[in-house]
């Protein structure tokens, strides 16, 4: 079981995934700081100096922090956009696999031609046999 576990861990995919998760966690904290300390104040200036990160409303004893939700949406959009750019950049760097030339399979065409030839041959031999018998 330990040998199988070592093989599983030593595969490139697992290590790549682990590195991706670690970098993603660090990247998320950077994006949160960007949104909280740079983007939200800029949006607040456009809205008239209002810091909407503290926006909330209460219904009975429940507090709904709508500003925190807006921050989370902005964080998600920025992270998704940066991941899109990274994937696009990596796709440009990686050489595209050359598509193999697809050679059409003419088996069906050949079989139809053989069938037609056999039908024509049997028709002509039937016709010649009928003529011959008369």
**Any idea where the domains of the chain sit in the sequence?**
2-102
Which pTM was predicted? Answer: 0.47
Q: Which CATH superfamily is domain 2-102 in?
A: Large-conductance mechanosensitive channel, MscL; domain 1 (1.10.1200.120)
Average pLDDT, the chain: 77
d(CA 31, CA 37): 10
Sign for the CA dihedral angle at 106, 107, 110, 112 comes to negative
d(CA 127, CA 96): 60
According to DSSP, the residues that pair with 64 across neighbouring strands are 57
First CA to last CA distance, the chain: 85
The pLDDT tens digits for 27-62 are: 888 877 887 788 777 877 776 766 667 788 888 888
């Amino acid at each position: 079981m330990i040998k199988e576990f070592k093989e599983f861990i030593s595969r490139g995919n697992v290590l790549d995934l682990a590195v991706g998760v670690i970098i993603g966690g660090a990247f998320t904290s950077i994006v949160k700081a960007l949104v909280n300390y740079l983007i939200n104040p800029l949006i607040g200036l456009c809205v008239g100096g209002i810091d909407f990160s503290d926006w909330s409303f209460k219904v009975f004893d429940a507090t709904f922090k709508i500003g925190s939700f807006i921050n989370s949406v902005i964080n998600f959009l920025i992270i998704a956009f940066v991941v899109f750019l990274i994937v696009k950049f990596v796709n440009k760097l990686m050489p595209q696999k050359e598509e193999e030339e697809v050679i059409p399979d003419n088996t069906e065409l050949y079989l139809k031609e053989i069938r037609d030839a056999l039908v024509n041959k049997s028709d002509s031999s039937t016709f010649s046999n009928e003529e011959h018998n008369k």
